[in-house]
């Protein structure tokens, strides 16, 4: 690293490990800064920025420090290799400095620091975030280089201005103990001259190193997120909200944020305790988006009058503060579009997914543990791929109003939020179990859809002793995400009575009812693609006893 000899104002170069004690300057760039190429040249002293160097060295000598570092002139920015090394090392350089002098060029000497700090441009710039957090000691100076106080004197004001916890500002809490979402929120309202620097200025905050590629624009922030994902297990990296209404298409977004601004409202988000205690969700970026191995929840929310309905898929990411105290779990809402494939639903903000925030609600959960993907570029997929994912989908809907689906297999092909199966293999079998309420009778029915036929052939049975082996094999012995095939049933399950498209059941009043399963075919539109859909209808009609039917 290059240091300025505070006595001679000449640059000297040292290995970082052998560098002498040095003072460091934090400031906002202005006109006529002294660059590396200007140092030692006669014209350097004529530039406005020369005073910054002189004052920094003067202050360093007053503290008994022989060297100083100023970013304008201590980095040869014409060398891409040196620039990359310097930016990747900068957080550490500020952290190792004996003292950091903060020059506030817009702090009026006649205004009290407590009142004037919040109006200073220094608190709005991207690069100064790490310069506020990393140094052990910070001294503030106004535009006339008059000392206004140490950082410890203004902790409360700075915490209000920046939303950074006081413990972090005091050095009592390390930044890496804060969630990714919380750290991103600190940068959400800061600006940089170049788009790429929104990411590069955060490398030290997240302990990340990566090459600089000026010209990649927002791609730099995408690379930063990829590095963060590859180095940790903090799911709050996905806990953002697109409050600006930009990006995505329709209701759907990539799970990856577009910039730090998307984290503007996540300063209170903390990591989910399960991830912190070892029950970790594994995830990584792949050519099919974000690949997860862990838990996804199917959540239904109702109230005292209406029972839970309209379930949705929720990936829990962390927890956040509840108004009035305490924390509640939060996550993102997902839409299933193909077997094991989800996209993020941007219509539901993070707060709406806090399943514990409604004290009068009835909330039901179904925890599903398996491997799934969340697409990061769904809207860029070619139409051919979208058609292959959903071609021949089988929809299970229009059930009797008193019917409630309780389970389905295979889970990868089942979309609980829309009560439908996705078909990609014409030899597969689909199974749906549902509770059917007829008068005071509660029946557990099983519908099997044979996908070898067009339209698929439905059969129906009750969970009775003659079908117990079949039910047990489908819902217990068979892995929940594995495909089902008729050939396997014939090999693994003891013989059972033939399945029919209808069955008679006895009712409590002595009458009987006929339950019939039928299929109708239509054409549906799935995310802009026309697909064949098959709707299963289960009808219940009284056959003896009362003349009422339903």
Whether the per-residue pLDDT at 164 is higher than 70: the answer is yes
Burial of 331 (0-12, 13-18, 19+ CB in 10 A): buried
Question: CA 263 to CA 330: how far, in whole Å?
Answer: 14
Q: What is the pTM of this model?
A: 0.84
**Domain 386-544 of CATH type 3.30.1300:** no
Tokens 């495909």, residue located? 483
At 346 the three-state DSSP class reads coil
Whether the per-residue pLDDT at 395 is higher than 70: the answer is no
Residue 455: cis peptide before it, omega within 30 degrees of 0: yes
Tokens 């409604």, residue located? 358
Report the length, in residues, of the chain.
550
> What's the sign of the alpha-carbon dihedral 351, 357, 358, 364?
positive
Res 247: pLDDT: 46
Res 535: pLDDT: 80
Question: CA 456 to CA 6: how far, in whole Å?
Answer: 83
Residue 331: cis peptide before it, omega within 30 degrees of 0: no
**Degrees to nearest 5, angle at CA 155 with 57 and 120:** 60
Least confident of 160-164, 303-307, 372-376, 420-424: 303-307
Pairing of strands 309-321, 289-302: antiparallel
Res 250: pLDDT: 54
Please give the average per-residue pLDDT across 139-156, as a whole number.
96
Question: CA 428 to CA 430: how far, in whole Å?
Answer: 7
Res 385: pLDDT: 35
H helix intervals, 497-547:
none
Whether the per-residue pLDDT at 531 is higher than 90: the answer is no
Burial of 304 (0-12, 13-18, 19+ CB in 10 A): exposed
Tokens 């930009």, residue located? 246
Least confident of 91-105, 489-503, 529-543: 529-543
Res 37: pLDDT: 96
Write out the two tokens for 513. 């009812």
Res 415: pLDDT: 83
Res 310: pLDDT: 60
Report pLDDT digits (tens) over 27-84: 999 999 999 999 999 999 999 999 999 999 999 999 999 999 999 999 999 999 999 9
Res 273: pLDDT: 57
The residue with greater pLDDT, 363 or 133, is 133
Whether the per-residue pLDDT at 522 is higher than 80: the answer is no
Whether the per-residue pLDDT at 186 is higher than 70: the answer is yes
Please give the average per-residue pLDDT across 276-289, as a whole number.
68
Please give the average per-residue pLDDT across 496-521, as a whole number.
82
Res 357: pLDDT: 45
Q: DSSP string of 235-282? A: GGGG----TT--SSBTTEE-SS-SSGGGGTT-TT-EE-HHHHTT-PPE
Kindly list the distances between the CA atom of residue 110 and the CA atoms of 101, 142, 146, 379, in Å, as whole numbers in the listed order.
20, 10, 11, 55
The residue with greater pLDDT, 286 or 4, is 4
Res 393: pLDDT: 52
Res 353: pLDDT: 59
Kindly list the distances between the CA atom of residue 86 and the CA atoms of 20, 94, 134, 297, in Å, as whole numbers in the listed order.
17, 11, 15, 44
The residue with greater pLDDT, 220 or 368, is 220
First-residue to last-residue Cα distance in the chain: 82
Question: CA 68 to CA 54: how far, in whole Å?
Answer: 10
Res 306: pLDDT: 47
Residue 505: which H helix or E strand, with range? Answer: strand 502-506
Residue 310: which H helix or E strand, with range? Answer: strand 309-321
Least confident of 15-19, 149-153, 252-256: 252-256
Q: Do 530 and 487 form a contact (C-beta atoms < 8 A)?
A: no
Mean pLDDT of the chain: 83
Whether the per-residue pLDDT at 213 is higher than 80: the answer is yes
> What's the sign of the alpha-carbon dihedral 155, 158, 163, 164?
negative
Domain residue spans of the chain: 2-173, 230-378, 386-544
């Amino acid at each position: 690293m290059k240091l300025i000899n505070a006595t001679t104002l000449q640059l000297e170069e040292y290995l970082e490990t052998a560098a002498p004690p040095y003072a460091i300057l934090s400031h906002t760039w202005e006109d006529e800064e002294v660059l590396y190429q200007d140092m030692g040249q006669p014209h350097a002293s004529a530039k406005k920025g020369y005073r910054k160097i002189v004052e920094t060295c003067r202050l360093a000598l007053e503290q008994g420090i022989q060297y100083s570092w100023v970013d304008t002139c201590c980095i040869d920015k014409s060398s891409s290799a040196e620039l990359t090394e310097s930016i990747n090392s900068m957080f550490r350089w500020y952290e190792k400095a004996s003292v950091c002098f903060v020059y506030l060029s817009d702090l009026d000497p006649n205004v009290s620091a407590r009142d004037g700090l919040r109006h200073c441009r220094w608190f709005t710039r991207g690069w100064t975030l790490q310069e506020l957090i990393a140094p052990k000691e910070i001294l503030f100076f106004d535009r006339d280089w008059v000392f206004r106080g140490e950082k410890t004197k203004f902790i409360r004001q700075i915490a209000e201005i920046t939303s950074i916890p006081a413990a972090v500002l005091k050095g009592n809490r390390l930044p890496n103990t804060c969630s990714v979402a919380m750290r991103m929120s600190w940068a959400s309202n800061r600006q940089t001259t170049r788009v790429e620097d929104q990411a590069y200025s955060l490398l030290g905050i997240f302990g990340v190193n990566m090459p600089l590629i000026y010209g990649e624009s927002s791609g730099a922030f995408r690379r930063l997120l990829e590095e963060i994902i590859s180095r940790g297990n903090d799911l709050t990296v996905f806990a953002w909200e697109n409050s600006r209404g930009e990006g995505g298409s329709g209701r759907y977004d990539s799970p990856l944020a577009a910039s730090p601004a998307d984290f503007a409202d996540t300063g209170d988000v903390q990591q989910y305790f399960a991830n912190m205690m070892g029950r970790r969700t594994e995830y990584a970026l792949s050519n099919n988006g974000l690949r997860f191995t862990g838990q996804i929840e199917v959540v239904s929310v109702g109230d005292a009058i209406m029972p839970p309905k309209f379930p949705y898929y929720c990936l829990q990411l962390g927890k956040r503060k509840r108004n009035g105290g305490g924390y509640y779990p939060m996550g993102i809402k997902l839409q299933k579009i193909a077997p094991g494939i989800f996209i993020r639903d941007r219509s539901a903000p993070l707060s709406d997914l806090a399943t514990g925030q409604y004290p009068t609600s009835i909330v039901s959960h179904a925890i599903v543990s398996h491997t799934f993907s969340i697409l990061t570029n769904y809207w860029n997929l070619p139409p051919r791929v979208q058609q292959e994912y959903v071609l021949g989908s089988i929809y299970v809907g229009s059930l009797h109003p008193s019917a409630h689906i309780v389970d389905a297999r295979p889970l990868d092909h089942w979309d609980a939020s829309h009560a439908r199966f996705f078909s990609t293999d014409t030899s597969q079998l689909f199974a749906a179990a549902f509770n059917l309420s007829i008068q005071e009778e509660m029946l557990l029915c099983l519908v099997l859809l044979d996908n070898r036929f067009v339209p698929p052939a439905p059969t129906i049975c009750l969970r009775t002793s003659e079908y117990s082996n079949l039910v047990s094999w489908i819902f217990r012995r068979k892995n929940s995400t594995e495909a089902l095939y008729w050939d396997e049933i014939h090999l693994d399950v003891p013989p059972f009575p033939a399945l029919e498209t209808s069955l008679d059941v006895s009712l409590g009043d002595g009458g009987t009812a006929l339950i019939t399963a039928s299929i109708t075919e239509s054409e549906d539109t799935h995310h802009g693609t026309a697909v064949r859909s098959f709707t299963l209808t289960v009808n219940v009609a009284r056959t003896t006893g009362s003349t009422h039917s339903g």
